Amino acid sequence: MQTAFHKIIAKFPDRSLVIRSGSDASYFVLKSWYQLFLITSVLIAFLWILVASIGFFVNYTNLVATQVELQQIVAKNEAFIEQLESDQANAYQLRQQYQAEIGKNLMLAERYESIKSISEDAVEDQAPENAEEFVAWFRPQLVSRIYDVDQRNENLSSLVMDLSSSVAEISGHPPPESIEEVDSWLEDVAGDLTDAYQAQSEAMEKLYQIFTKNLVSSYATIEETPLAAPDIAGFSPAFGTGGPESLNTQESHVFQRFENRARDLKVLSQDWEQLQQLLSCAPLSTPVDYYNLTSKFGNRKDPFTGRPDWHEGIDMGAWPGTKVRTTAAGTVRFAGPKGGYGRLIVIDHGCGIETAYGHLKSINVKKGQIVSYRDVIGAVGSAGRSTGPHVHYEVRVRDKPVDPYQFIEAGRYVFKEQKPTIAIER
C-alpha cells in the first residue's frame, strides 16, 4: 500500500514554472500534493456533472410523463364538471316544475277547502272530505238553503222597512210605504244629506278663507325677519299663494271635499299656533322709546381705532338714565358686568331667540328672573367700551347675530300706534 502510494506520487514530481517579463523571471514550484489535489478536484467535478446530467435526464422524463398525465386528469375533471353543471341545470328545472305542480295542487286544495268551508257555514252541516261525495251532498243542501234564503229575504224586507222608519225620524222624511219604494226614498234622503254637507262645506270654505287671510296677515309680520325661514318657522307659507280653490270648481264628491277642507283647516290651525308662538317670542319693539340710531348693524368704523369692524347689534343713543325695557317676554339668562359690554343683560325669549342690552347704567333684574313684555330691566348708561350714553342692543337667533332693525320694522307693522322719534347719524 505504501509502495503504490509512492508510485502514484512519483508520477507527479515537483515541477517548476518560470514566468519571464523582460529581464525579470519568476519561479513557481508545483508540489506533488498540489498536482494530486487539482487532478482529484477535476475528477470529482466531472463525476458530479455526469451524475447530475443523468439525474436531470431521468427527472425530466418523469416530469414530461407527469405533465401528460396531469393534462389528462384536468381534461377528465373539466368534462366531469361540465356534465355536473348540466345535471344541476336539469335538476333545477325539474325541481321548479315539481314546485309549480305542488303549488297548483296546493291552490286547488285551498280552493276546495274554501268552498267546503263556505258550504259548511252556509248549510250549517259537516261536508264530506271526498270531492265526489261532496257534490252529491251539496245538491240537496243547496235546495234547502235556497228556501231558507227566500224566507230570510222576507225577514230582511221587514228589517229594511223598520230601518227606513228610523231613518225617516232622523231625516224628517215620511217613511216609504213598501219595500219597492225604499230605493227611490233613500235617493231623496241621500240628496238632502248631501245638500246639508254641501252647506257645511261652504261654511267651512269661508272659514278656511278667513283663516288663511289672517294667517297671511300675521305671517307678514315676520316675513322680512330670519324667523320666516322654514327651518325656524316650522312651516312653509304656501297658504299665501293663489288662494284656496273654490268648492264649485272641484270634481270630487262633496263628502270628500268636506274631509279635504277639514284636513286643510287642521294644518292651518297648526301653522297658526306655530306662528303665534313665534310672535310671542319675537322682540318686536325697541328697548328705549326715544333714541338716536348712532351705529347700525354690520360693517362699521370702530369708534376707538377708526378701523373697519363688524358690529353685532345696533347702538341707540338716549339720555343717561332712560328706562330700558324688554322687547319680548322671557327669562334673564345673564345680568352683570361683561367685558367691553359693561353692564349687560341677556334675555332668552324661547324659540331660539335671545336679546342683549349693553353699556347700562344700572340693572334692575337678576339671572333666572322671568320678565314680561316692556318690563323695565335697567337704565341707559355708558359703561364698558363706550363713547357716550347709549344702549347696545343685539338680537340672536339660534346663537347667530341678526339685524335688530328687521324686528323693529316688523314691530311697527304690528304696533302701529308706536311711533318713536328716530334720528340716524351718518
Give one DSSP letter per residue of 289-320, joined into a string: SSEEEEE-SEEEE-TTT-SEEEESSEEEE--T
Whether residue 72 lies inside any domain: the answer is yes
248 and 340 share one domain: no
Whether residue 166 lies inside any domain: the answer is no
Q: What is the pLDDT of residues 74-94, one digit of tens each?
A: 888 888 788 878 877 887 887
Q: What is the pLDDT of residues 375-418, one digit of tens each?
A: 999 999 999 888 899 999 999 999 999 999 988 988 876 654 44
Choose between 223 and 361: higher pLDDT. Answer: 361
338 and 389 share one domain: yes
pLDDT at site 240:
41
CA distance 420 to 404: 15
Q: Is 414 exposed, middle or buried (0-12, 13-18, 19+ CB in 10 A)?
A: middle
197 and 251 share one domain: yes
Look at residues 64, 93, 127 and tell me which one is the last residue of a structural domain.
127
308 and 277 share one domain: no
Cβ atoms 55, 44 nearer than 8 A? no
Q: In Å, what is the CA distance from 64 to each residue of 60, 68, 78, 224, 304?
A: 6, 6, 21, 91, 98
Look at residues 127, 150, 171 and tell me which one is the last residue of a structural domain.
127
Q: What is the pLDDT of residues 304-359, one digit of tens each?
A: 887 888 889 999 999 999 999 999 999 999 999 999 999 999 999 998 999 999 99
Residue 335 one-letter amino acid: A
259 and 212 share one domain: yes
Whether residue 85 lies inside any domain: the answer is yes
257 and 189 share one domain: yes
Residue tagged 367685558 (cell numbers)? 339
Whether residue 75 lies inside any domain: the answer is yes
Region of poorest pLDDT, from 7-11, 21-25, 64-68, 180-184: 180-184
| CA angle in degrees (0–180, nearest 5) for 361-367-371 | 85
50 and 80 share one domain: yes
CA distance 361 to 66: 106
Buried b (16+ CB within 10 A) or exposed e, 387-408: eebbbbbbbbbeeebbbbebbb
Give the residue numbers spanning the domain of 387: 291-424
Cβ atoms 315, 388 nearer than 8 A? no
295 and 418 share one domain: yes
377 and 318 share one domain: yes
Whether residue 174 lies inside any domain: the answer is no
Q: How many residues does the chain have?
A: 426
Whether residue 155 lies inside any domain: the answer is no
Whether residue 295 lies inside any domain: the answer is yes
Reply yes or no on whether the pLDDT at 365 is more than 50.
Answer: yes
18 and 86 share one domain: yes
Look at residues 251, 281, 311 and tell me which one is the last residue of a structural domain.
281
107 and 25 share one domain: yes
Q: What is the pLDDT of residues 192-242, one digit of tens each?
A: 666 666 777 777 778 778 777 777 777 777 777 887 777 776 666 555 433
Buried b (16+ CB within 10 A) or exposed e, 9-24: eeebeeeeeeeeeeee
- Report how many domains make up the chain: 3
CA distance 424 to 212: 38
pTM, two decimal places: 0.51
Q: What is the DSSP letter of 179?
A: G
Whether residue 74 lies inside any domain: the answer is yes
| CATH code of the domain containing 332 | 2.70.70.10
24 and 6 share one domain: yes
